[in-house]
A = this chain, B = another copy of it.
Amino acid sequence: MITSATAAHSTAAPVTNVVLGPDTGDQFGAVMVQAGLVATEFSYKKDAEIYGEEEPAEYVYQVVRGAVRSYKLLSDGRRQIGAFHLPGDVFGLESGPVHRLTAEAIIDTTVRLVKRRALEQAAATDVHIVRGLLNMTTGSLKHAEDHMLLLGRKTAMERVATFLLEMDRRLAVAGMMALPMCRRDIGDYLGLTLETVSRALSQLHEQEVLGFSGARQIVLRNRQRLRNMDA
């Protein structure tokens, strides 16, 4: 069921061209409008690779619907997910020639993409565009700095608490969140095993800090308690 990134960008793919309007209030949208660029929409099936580590960086992406994981692998298969990309997030933005992580759709996902070359050209003459790219990169760096603290120094329970608060902030609708990713993905994001993640969630459930309606539908019942736990 894996659609390769190569196939993904073939002309045969079901693609929609959209001119980005000023209604897009996000940074990416703003930057694209400045650049006068045209974005293409494309969809990936669950678990499809969007691009691979060390592949030439030809496009920059923004999640429209769905969710994406960006990760690095060690030679024996150990995986570290550096970030989850949710609707509105920009990913795949590189300064060098290649992607430094692999990106995969977690669930069926639609992205907007713009040619990196076009962006480069626009950036060459427009300060605002480069400025926008700098701000987006800085945002990623800030997240990475926070995540290093989590990975290097937080306990399992603290990591899970931090994760829940992050996801609550980023994708809660009406006080409830629908996690797109499985326990293994969460573990690989937090530097834990899926079993440890599951145990931490069960414990929080027992303590009535959260409620489940299905393993991936979570409602936080005591955010303050969670904030206290995240160290």
Contact = CB atoms under 8 A, between A and B. Distances in A.
A151 B151 contact: yes
A100 B149 CA distance: 12
Given A127-B126, A131-B123, A144-B144, A149 B80 contact: yes
A72 interface: yes
Contacts of A137: 134, 137-138, 141
Contacts of A154: 74, 78
Contacts of A191: 151-153
Contacts of A140: 141
Contacts of A148: 72, 80, 82, 144, 147-148, 151
A213 interface: no
Contact of A135 (B76, B82, B95, B135): B95
A130 interface: yes
A138 B140 CA distance: 9
A145 B82 contact: yes
A138 B74 contact: no
Contact of A145 (B74, B100, B188): B100
Given A82-B145, A95-B135, A152-B188, 11 more contacts: A74-B154, A76-B231, A79-B153, A96-B142, A101-B145, A123-B127, A125-B127, A127-B127, A144-B145, A148-B148, A151-B151
15 contacts: A72-B149, A78-B153, A78-B154, A80-B152, A82-B148, A95-B135, A96-B142, A101-B145, A123-B131, A125-B127, A130-B134, A133-B134, A137-B137, A144-B144, A152-B191
Interface of A: 72, 74-76, 78-80, 82, 94-96, 100-101, 123-127, 130-131, 133-135, 137-142, 144-149, 151-154, 188, 190-191, 231
